């Protein structure tokens, strides 16, 4: 129940009768699929694309859970994957072939100590959904409510252990010929993936995750987390309250249920930002099968439910604050500060000279920013950034593997529901409001860092930029300029604002002409 790359490699090498046939099967399947995709992938024939999509689905399904997880990640990227393939890949989320119902019943009885017929008033003869690691039944408690009962696939630890060794070997041997410059080896990224997968198949850990995640959104009526039924849960069986909602697959399906896709996206993005930049604990697998739209709307935001808490991760306070600052540096076009952020996060070596990096960042990001925050082209950045990582000594720290997965999945989901969606259009106003309100010590420190330079000079244009972003976002009912400005003024004259007042006073004393008439005119 624990991933260990070295131990698992030795384990498989000692069992060549297990490893060699599987390696041959994986290589044959992937090479055959690659040849088909390369030879026919550019075809304009719709029927050809449908056949390729079905072949892709069958190949990944036949190869098992590790490969299905890859397909699930691709299913959230409508900007990268052919639309005909996307529909088939989406089925990997919860529409896979189910395993034997008798096996599921045996697992329930072994783990919970009694047959399902005794534990539940109603237990169906087939699951309502089957995913890569388990399948879900809609059951009813005795004289009570409906619940979701997730039962794990058989022999899952063995399968994951075997396939992760093979995937890691293939990645390490193929890395030198791949057009990648990750800095860290692909093996380390796969190790992170392996650790998260083994955590995901421990349903007792998932129950803990769900309860911890629920406490973070206790006061947020737009986000719902199912309640764990502890007496009916174990390492291989997890029972939670049933979520009756609409999956985030198709905007037309949402509209047919009288749900607003844009409001749902907004809730998903803001809750994702809260997880990464505020709570430091996040859902690392936010694909459409793990999120449901619920009825209702609060202050311009739709109601959303998360399920499946097997793949969760934490981010350190240091990384969290640095990421917050990076968002501000991007929009303020402070590429020197952004380069230092990348260095602090480990994407650049601490010993590297940033002189050549800063102009490269400005070239890649500057043209993508547009005139306003709403014009920020995130996909253009990801396209160009791959070139930047190859030409310059950027690397991807292993600890960011799940963070990147979560952000990419979140953006892909949003693009699926709204192709014109721009994630930074919500991300930056969120950060700007928190900075201006100074709602925590760390935000007050970050605000000082943003509006004062290293010589203590006040940058009024940066305050103006923050206010402008918030006011532009005021079209949304939950983003009003007056409450934010009021919170900022309250901070300025409160005990918590002592440092800010002191810095402003020192600026007037030491740099009486640093606040120019031109600056005042600009703000006016």
Assign 451 a pLDDT band (cuts: 50, 70, 90): low
Which has more pLDDT, 99 or 251?
99
Catalytic residue among 8, 94, 191, 285: 285
Does position 159 have pLDDT exceeding 60, yes or no?
A: yes
Which has more pLDDT, 367 or 248?
248
How far is the C-alpha of 45 from the C-alpha of 50, rounded, in Å? 9
Does position 409 have pLDDT exceeding 60, yes or no?
A: yes
Does position 52 have pLDDT exceeding 80, yes or no?
A: yes
Segment 59-86 mean pLDDT: 75
Whose tokens are 């041997």? That residue is 173
Segment 347-359 mean pLDDT: 83
Assign 328 a pLDDT band (cuts: 50, 70, 90): confident
Q: Order the strands of the 246-247 sheet from edge to edge.
A: 223-224, 301-306, 291-298, 246-247
Which has more pLDDT, 452 or 375?
452
Question: How far are the Cα atoms of 112, 152, 239, 256, 512 from residue 139, in angstroms, in the given order?
Answer: 15, 16, 9, 27, 72
DSSP collapsed to 3 states, 275-291? HHHHHCEEECCCCHHHE
User: Lowest-confidence range among 57-61, 122-126, 389-393?
Assistant: 389-393
Which has more pLDDT, 7 or 489?
7
How far is the C-alpha of 11 from the C-alpha of 193, rounded, in Å? 19
Question: Is 201 in contact with 171 (CB distance < 8 Å)?
Answer: no
DSSP reduced 3-state for 311: coil
The per-residue pLDDT for 76 is 58
Backbone angles phi, psi at 89, to 5 degrees: -65, -35
Backbone angles phi, psi at 6, to 5 degrees: -70, -50
| DSSP code, position 441 | H
Which of 27-36, 412-421, 478-487 has the largest mean confidence?
27-36
Closest CA to 238 of 309, 319, 155: 309
| DSSP code, position 231 | G
How far is the C-alpha of 282 from the C-alpha of 354, rounded, in Å? 31
Does position 376 have pLDDT exceeding 60, yes or no?
A: no
How far is the C-alpha of 268 from the C-alpha of 246, rounded, in Å? 14
Does position 132 have pLDDT exceeding 80, yes or no?
A: yes
Question: Is 178 in contact with 293 (CB distance < 8 Å)?
Answer: no
Whose tokens are 């006011």? That residue is 471
How far is the C-alpha of 485 from the C-alpha of 26, rounded, in Å? 59
The per-residue pLDDT for 306 is 95
The per-residue pLDDT for 403 is 82
For the beta carbon of residue 8, count every other beta carbon within 10 angstroms.
18
Segment 178-191 mean pLDDT: 63
Q: How far is CA 166 from the centre of its chain?
A: 26
User: Lowest-confidence range among 171-185, 200-214, 355-369, 476-490?
Assistant: 476-490
Assign 450 a pLDDT band (cuts: 50, 70, 90): low
The per-residue pLDDT for 185 is 62
For the beta carbon of residue 380, count every other beta carbon within 10 angstroms.
15
Closest CA to 476 of 227, 255, 212, 263: 263
The per-residue pLDDT for 391 is 65
State the average pLDDT for the chain: 79
Segment 418-430 mean pLDDT: 74
Residues sharing a CB contact under 8 Å with residue 222, sequence separation 6 or more, in sequence order: 267, 271, 298, 301, 302, 303, 304
Closest CA to 248 of 229, 231, 271: 271
Question: Is 245 in contact with 292 (CB distance < 8 Å)?
Answer: yes
DSSP per residue over 338-400, as a string?
A: HHHHHHHHTSS-TTS-TTTHHHHHHHHHHHHH-SSGGG--HHHHHHHHHHHHHHS-----GGG
For the beta carbon of residue 219, count every other beta carbon within 10 angstroms.
7
Known active-site residue 478? no
Between strands 281-283 and 312-314, the pairing is antiparallel
Question: How far are the Cα atoms of 45, 55, 177, 178, 364 from residue 41, in angstroms, in the given order?
Answer: 10, 12, 22, 20, 29
pLDDT in tens, 432-443: 777 766 566 666
How far is the C-alpha of 284 from the C-alpha of 405, rounded, in Å? 7
pTM value? 0.77
Assign 188 a pLDDT band (cuts: 50, 70, 90): confident
Q: What tokens does 91 get?
A: 């089925």
Question: Is 96 in contact with 132 (CB distance < 8 Å)?
Answer: yes
Assign 37 a pLDDT band (cuts: 50, 70, 90): confident
Which of 48-62, 234-248, 259-273, 495-509 has the largest mean confidence?
234-248
Does position 386 have pLDDT exceeding 80, yes or no?
A: no
Q: What tokens does 28 get?
A: 């044959």
Question: Is 52 in contact with 37 (CB distance < 8 Å)?
Answer: yes
How far is the C-alpha of 409 from the C-alpha of 285, rounded, in Å? 7
């Amino acid at each position: 129940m624990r991933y260990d790359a070295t131990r698992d490699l030795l384990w498989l090498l000692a069992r060549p009768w297990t490893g060699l046939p599987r390696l041959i099967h994986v290589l044959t399947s992937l090479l055959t699929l690659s040849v088909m995709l390369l030879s026919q992938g550019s075809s304009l024939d719709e029927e050809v694309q449908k056949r390729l999509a079905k072949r892709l689905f069958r190949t990944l399904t036949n190869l098992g859970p590790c490969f299905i997880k890859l397909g699930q990640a691709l299913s959230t990227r409508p900007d990268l994957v052919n639309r005909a393939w996307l529909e088939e890949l989406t089925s990997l989320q919860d529409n896979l072939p189910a395993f034997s119902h008798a096996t599921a019943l045996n697992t329930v009885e072994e783990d919970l100590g009694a047959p399902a017929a005794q534990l539940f008033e109603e237990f169906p003869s087939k699951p309502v959904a089957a995913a890569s690691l388990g399948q879900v039944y809609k059951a009813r408690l005795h004289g009570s409510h409906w619940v979701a009962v997730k039962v794990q696939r058989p022999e899952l630890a063995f399968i994951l252990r075997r396939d992760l060794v093979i995937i890691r070997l293939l990645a390490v041997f193929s890395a030198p010929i791949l057009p990648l410059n990750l800095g860290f080896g692909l093996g380390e990224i796969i190790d992170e993936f392996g650790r998260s997968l083994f955590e995901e198949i421990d349903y007792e850990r998932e129950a803990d995750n769900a309860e911890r995640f629920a406490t973070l959104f206790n006061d947020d009526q737009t986000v719902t987390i199912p309640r764990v039924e502890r007496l009916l849960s174990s390492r291989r069986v997890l029972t939670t309250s049933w979520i009756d909602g609409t999956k985030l697959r198709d905007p037309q399906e949402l509209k047919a249920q009288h749900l607003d896709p844009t409001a749902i996206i907004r809730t998903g993005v803001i809750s994702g930002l809260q997880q990464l930049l505020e709570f430091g604990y996040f859902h690392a697998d936010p694909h459409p099968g793990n999120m449901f739209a619920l009825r209702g709307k609060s202050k311009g935001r739709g109601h959303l439910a998360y399920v499946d808490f097997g793949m969760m991760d934490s981010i350190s306070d240091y990384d969290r604050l640095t990421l917050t600052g990076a968002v501000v540096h991007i929009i303020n076009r402070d590429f020197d500060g952004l380069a230092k952020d990348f260095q602090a996060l480990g994407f650049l070596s601490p010993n590297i000279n940033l002189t050549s990096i800063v102009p490269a960042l400005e070239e890649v990001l500057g043209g993508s920013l547009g005139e306003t925050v709403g014009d920020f082209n995130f996909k253009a950045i990801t396209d160009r950034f791959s070139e930047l990582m190859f030409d310059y000594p950027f690397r991807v720290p292993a600890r960011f593997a799940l963070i990147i997965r979560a952000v990419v999945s979140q953006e892909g989901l949003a693009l699926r529901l709204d192709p014109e969606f721009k994630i930074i259009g919500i991300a930056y106003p969120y950060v700007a409001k928190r900075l201006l309100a100074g709602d925590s010590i760390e935000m007050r420190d970050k605000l000082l860092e943003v509006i004062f330079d290293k010589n203590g000079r006040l940058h009024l244009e940066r305050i103006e930029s923050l206010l402008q972003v918030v006011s532009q976002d005021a079209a949304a009912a939950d983003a009003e300029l007056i409450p934010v400005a009021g919170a900022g003024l309250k901070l300025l004259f409160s005990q918590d604002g002592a440092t800010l007042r002191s810095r402003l006073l020192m600026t007037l004393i030491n740099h009486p002409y640093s606040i120019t008439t031109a600056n005042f005119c600009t703000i006016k």
